[in-house]
Structure 1
Amino acid sequence: MDIFILIQEIKTHLTSGFDKVDEWFDKDEKTLNFQPSNGGWTVHQILEHIYLTNFFLLILIEKGSKKAMRNYLNLDLQSEIENYSFSKENFGRIGEYGAFEWIRPEHMEPQGKLSLSEIRNLITQQYHQCLLYLNTMKNGEGVLCKTTMTVNGLGKINVYEYIYFLSLHAQRHLTQMKNNELETIKN
């Protein structure tokens, strides 16, 4: 496995996803606040949910990043990289809206306490945090720490995979926001 290619692919996915999420902040008020007929969240609420989910995932990513860098002192990084394989197939469904039931914790539900500009600033900061972690672990150190991810039975995943998961989660909600927008147009 070429770890440098993997890191670059995750950066590219992250950048593309965050850029697409950011475009939603410029939508008109009707689109941002439209309540879909299925009783789902408005685009504003979805954006807040993306921020909240990122917030809690970044706590795990930060801890994992620190542990991975500590593990670097005691583990054989080259051996770990040589024995590592990244399976995108295991993660594919994470980015697909409605692909499986996702029961999110209550603390990741939008509360409506943040303005769109606050959410946008926070999500931009989160994007930069992810890039910082990828740059800090630029030589493959992210494979040296695994944490359990229960969503869709992923199991133990490393820090790079957590960042990829975060990016896929946003991608999942891009579809949901597009669905809202299409329904807005029909009404």
Structure 2
Amino acid sequence: MVTDIFRLIEDIKTHLKFSFDEVDKWFDKDNKTLNCKPANGGWTVQQILEHIYLTNFYLLILIEKGSKKAMRNYLHLDLNLEIKNYSFDKEKFEKIGSYGAFEWIRPEHMEPKGELNLTEIRSLIAQQYHQCLSYLDLMKSGEGLLCKTTMTVNELGKINVYEYIYFLSLHAQRHVIQMRNNELEIS
């Protein structure tokens, strides 16, 4: 359990960098790897990359709302008390980053439609990474604890803005594993 809020923020930044760097490597794969349909009928690597972008897009809407509310709540709530009483339960989130660890039907608006090319998706995902960092910089003193929003995936329940950003990073990690599985089928 992480209780030092500054360490938590740095840990999330490190996780984000790792996840986004791993995702970015997939844009350089050859067409065969990018477009191979796995035997289980799942998505191609290109579709997975689009799904990561779409999921980030919708999560970042919630993260933006949460960060604005957290900054407003800073004026009325005792941040020091929130920090003192907070402990990060990393275990609760671990399954999110493991492909196939639980069943969840994603909303239709997060399914790839093939409307964007790889260059556009890569650029948008890079922008999303910087958005995450800017929210962490905005809430650099623990303010992200001051707003909680319900996360239905794997019954996580009410999570704060930092945990939402961590969830976003874990989601990308989950799909890196899926892309590796696709690539293994080709070899």
2:38 aligns with: 36
Deviation string 1:77-127 (CA, Å, 9 cap, x unpaired) is 000000001000000000000000011000000000100000000000000
Match for residue 90 of structure 1 among 89, 92, 96: 92
Distance 2:29 2:147 in 1: 39
- After TM superposition, list the pairs within 5 Å mapping 1:25-174 onto structure 2: 25-174=27-176
Q: Report sequence identity in percent.
A: 78
- After TM superposition, list the pairs within 5 Å mapping 1:12-31 onto structure 2: 12-31=14-33
C-alpha displacement at 1:144, in angstroms?
0.2
C-alpha displacement at 1:184, in angstroms?
1.1
Distance 2:151 2:130 in 1: 23
C-alpha displacement at 1:181, in angstroms?
0.3
Distance 1:88 1:32 in 2: 32
What is the aligned-residue RMSD (CA, Å)?
A: 0.4
Could you tell me which runs of 5 or more consecutive residues in structure 1 were left unpaired when the two chains were aligned: none
Count of matched residue positions in the alignment of Structure 1 and Structure 2: 185
After TM superposition, what 4+ stretches of structure 1 lie above 2 angstroms from structure 2? none
Distance 1:111 1:155 in 2: 29
Distance 1:99 1:87 in 2: 18
Distance 1:90 1:180 in 2: 27
1:179 aligns with: 181
Which amino acid in 1 is paired with 2:91?
Answer: E
Which amino acid in 2 is paired with 1:182?
Answer: L
Distance 2:114 2:165 in 1: 26
Match for residue 4 of structure 2 among 2, 7, 10: 2
Could you tell me which runs of 5 or more consecutive residues in structure 2 were left unpaired when the two chains were aligned: none
Distance 1:87 1:37 in 2: 36
Distance 1:52 1:179 in 2: 21
C-alpha displacement at 1:141, in angstroms?
0.2
TM-score after normalising by structure 1: 0.98
